[in-house]
Amino acid sequence: VVRSNPVAETWASASVDLHLDLAGSRKREALERALRDAVRTGRLGPGLQLPSSRALASDLGIARNTVADAYGQLIAEGWLTARQGAGTRVADRSSAVEAAATPAPQASRPQYDLRAGSPDTAIFPRSAWLAATRRALTAAPAEALGYTDPQGRPELRQALAGYLARARGVQLTPDRIVICSGFTQGLGLICQVLRRRGAKTLAMEVYGQPRHGDIAAAAGLSTTTVPVDGHGAMIDKLADADAVLLTPAHQFPLGVVLGPQRRSRVAAWADATNGLVIEDDYDGEFRYDRQPVGAVQSLAPERVAYAGTVSKALAPGLRLGWLALPAALVGDVVAVKILTDRITSSLDQLTLAEFINSGHYDRQVRRSRLAYRRRRDRLVDALSRHTPWVRIIGIAAGLHLLLELPDSQAEHDIITRAARHGLALEGLGSYQRALSTYPPALVIGYGTPHEHAFTGAVERLTAVLARSA
Ligand SMILES: Cc1ncc(COP(=O)(O)O)c(C=O)c1O
């Protein structure tokens, strides 16, 4: 508690800790004003228990009566309430009046959302995650809650090394893994390291997440594009880039798989040019009709930076991802990670380690794979029945598919019409980085709606498409 002049005081008694500015010589008025402002602006929320007048007076170094009088005044004005046995609390009324006076701007959310990107966050396994958090926190050494290893918790790196080798065919040891806040941060870290090492150009598939190009540009890299056909990125057209970002298991958003020859070719390209392949394995666990496609990384572990995330298998809001790196990159990536955010939340890391080790991660992947596969089947069935003229592509994997359209005007018109009917859609054009020969299409993210909204979303989609025939 600071007691010097000017009188900006912090009280930390009872359960609250609040900065109060008691400037001026009239302490009672100053305290009333400070408390009133704190309630009005929401710094003190409705129902909050205030310290007793004795405790607050002692913390602020003023007379107890001064505090009692100030409380009395604010109770009379309706800012505070006092009940026998319940002490003095912040009243509800003031914040309600305030809220009514300044309505929060409402972002208009569409009734249905079939844009790609998010899994169904309603199927996140809350109780299993909560139980894993409890177990992880109970077992965590105190050191884990400090400024722990910036490369990532050893427990999680160990668990991921086992999981990625087993489920994705990645060749790695825990010391090659860096834990990061999703793929977004992982890509940023690699781009910054590449730039520091003198790299200039990152090649990207001609279709992809626009954000990823922005991340490369923010790190000072210029980007070129690689065309994509039915066998994935055309590696022969890589030209003289320093690195390439690929989605080999399931091209985003076209849905094609990088063919076996091209996988070998990109490994050979990296060897011959001293280049780096960044492998974005964002939804590798979700393959329905065939054996999962393993990671390219296993062909050239010293040339490929493999990246994974929980954003599809669990939830994007967790912000957890990982890089499995060539030995020569680990130190530099950790150095940039320290400058970026020092560490990723160790409690979340320990929880994920526990979640993987107890078999819940695999279980959740299997459960959601089944759920998404059913949705895909329902969607494909509805489209085949109601709009048989629409060609559907990229259905073998992932949480999205493509509906081919005759021209880009149709893409634009359908998206606009759908929006008018409460359905959010995205066109392939939003993901296009350069000219391409692919026909216009809709990218339908069937993982996004909650289960109860899925039927409605599909009906709305087929109705909109039928009207544009
Ligand atoms: C192509 C691609 N890669 C990776 C991700 C995951 O990014 P993050 O792990 O930062 O959530 C996404 C999410 O939409 C994506 O579309």
Q: Which atom of ligand 1 is nearest to the CA of 253?
A: 1
Inter-residue contact 320 to 182 (CB < 8 Å): yes
Which residues are within 8 A (CB) of 444 and not within 5 positions of it... i.e. 6 or more apart? 114, 116, 379, 400, 401, 402, 403, 425, 461
Query: What amino acid occupies position 30?
Result: A
Q: Which atom of ligand 1 is nearest to the CA of 117?
A: 14
- Atom 3 of ligand 1, residue of closest alpha carbon: 282
Which residue of 309, 310, 399 sits with most ligand 1 atoms within 8 Å of its CB, as the best mutation to test the pocket?
309
**Which residue, by CA, sits nearest to atom 6 of ligand 1?**
183
Q: How far is the CA of 171 from the centre of ligand 1 (A)?
A: 22
Q: Which atom of ligand 1 lies nearest, measured to the CA of 311?
A: 11
What pLDDT, on a 0 to 100 scale, did the predictor assign at position 7? Answer: 41
- What is the tens place of the pLDDT at every residue in 177-191? 999 999 999 999 999
Q: How many CB atoms lie within 10 A of CB 156?
A: 27
- State which ligand 1 atom lies nearest to the alpha carbon of 187: 10
HSE at residue 290, side-chain half, CA atoms within 13 A, is 13
Reduce the DSSP state of residue 237 to 3 states and report it.
helix
* Distance (Å) from CA 454 to ligand 1 centroid: 22
Interhelix angle for 346-357 vs 126-139, to 10°? 110
Residue bearing the bigger pLDDT, 106 or 69: 69
- Residues shown for the chain: 469
* 185 CA closest ligand 1 atom index: 10
pLDDT-derived band at 408, boundaries 50, 70, 90 = confident
pLDDT grade, residue 8 (50/70/90)? very low
* HSE, side-chain direction, 13 A CA sphere, residue 309: 23
321 Cα: distance to centroid of ligand 1 (angstroms): 10
pLDDT of residue 5: 42
**CA-184 nearest atom, ligand 1:** 10
Q: Out of 181, 183, 448, give the residue to mutate to test ligand 1, the one with the largest number of ligand atoms within 8 Å of its CB.
A: 183
pLDDT of residue 100: 52
Q: Name the pLDDT band for 399 (thresholds 50, 70, 90).
A: very high
Instruction: Summarize the confidence of residues 199-222 as an average pLDDT.
Output: 97
How far does the centroid of ligand 1 lie from the alpha carbon of residue 279, in Å?
A: 12
Closest ligand 1 atom, residue 247 Cα: 1
Candidate of 279, 280, 282, 319 to mutate for ligand 1, largest count of ligand atoms within 8 Å of Cβ: 282
| Residue 4 pLDDT class (50, 70, 90 cuts) | very low
pLDDT at 129 over 90: yes
pLDDT digits (tens, 9 = 90+) for 338-356: 999 999 999 999 999 999 9
Nearest CA to ligand 1 atom 5: 282
Mean pLDDT of 250-272: 95
Residue 350 CA to ligand 1 center (angstroms) comes to 22
Give the mutation target among 252, 279, 400 for probing the ligand 1 site: most ligand atoms within 8 A of CB.
Answer: 252
Q: Are 433 and 452 in contact (CB under 8 A)?
A: no
Per-residue pLDDT averaged across 5-28, rounded? 64
Nearest CA to ligand 1 atom 7: 183
pTM of the model: 0.83
Mean per-residue pLDDT, 137-152: 97
Higher pLDDT among residues 104 and 443, named by residue: 443
Pair 257, 232: CB distance under 8 Å: yes
Ligand 1 centroid–CA 148 distance in Å is 26
- 310: pLDDT strictly greater than 80: yes
Provide the pLDDT for residue 239: 78
Looking at the predicted structure, is the pLDDT value of residue 374 above 60? yes
The alpha carbon of 312 and the centre of ligand 1 are apart by a number of angstroms equal to 8
Handedness of CA 191, 195, 198, 204 (dihedral sign): positive
Cα dihedral value 350, 351, 355, 361, nearest 10? -100
pLDDT of residue 105: 52
Residue 102: predicted pLDDT: 55
Per the model's pLDDT, the better-predicted residue between 233 and 294 turns out to be 233
Among 54-68, 82-96, 296-310, 429-443, whose mean pLDDT is lowest? Answer: 82-96
Tell me the pLDDT band of 456, cut-offs 50, 70 and 90. Answer: very high
Report the 10 Å Cβ neighbour count for 162.
13
Give the pLDDT confidence score for residue 213 in this predicted structure.
97
Nearest to 461 by CA among 418, 426, 427: 418
Q: Is the pLDDT of residue 420 over 60?
A: yes
What atom in ligand 1 is closest to the CA of residue 186?
10
pLDDT over threshold 90, residue 205: yes
* Substitution candidate for ligand 1 out of 121, 181, 184 with most atoms within 8 A of CB: 184
**Which residues does ligand 1 sit against, CB inside 6 Å?**
117, 182-184, 209, 247, 252, 280, 282, 309, 311, 316, 321
In angstroms, rounded to a whole number, what is the distance separating the alpha carbons of residues 413 and 418? 8
Alpha carbon nearest to ligand 1 atom 4, residue? 282
State the pLDDT at residue 177: 98
Average pLDDT of the residues of the chain: 91
Q: Report the separation in Å between the CA atom of 131 and the middle of ligand 1, taken as the mean of its atom positions.
A: 27
At residue 85, the pLDDT reads 79
Q: Which of 190, 209, 245, 340 gets mutated to test ligand 1 (max ligand atoms within 8 A of its CB)? A: 209
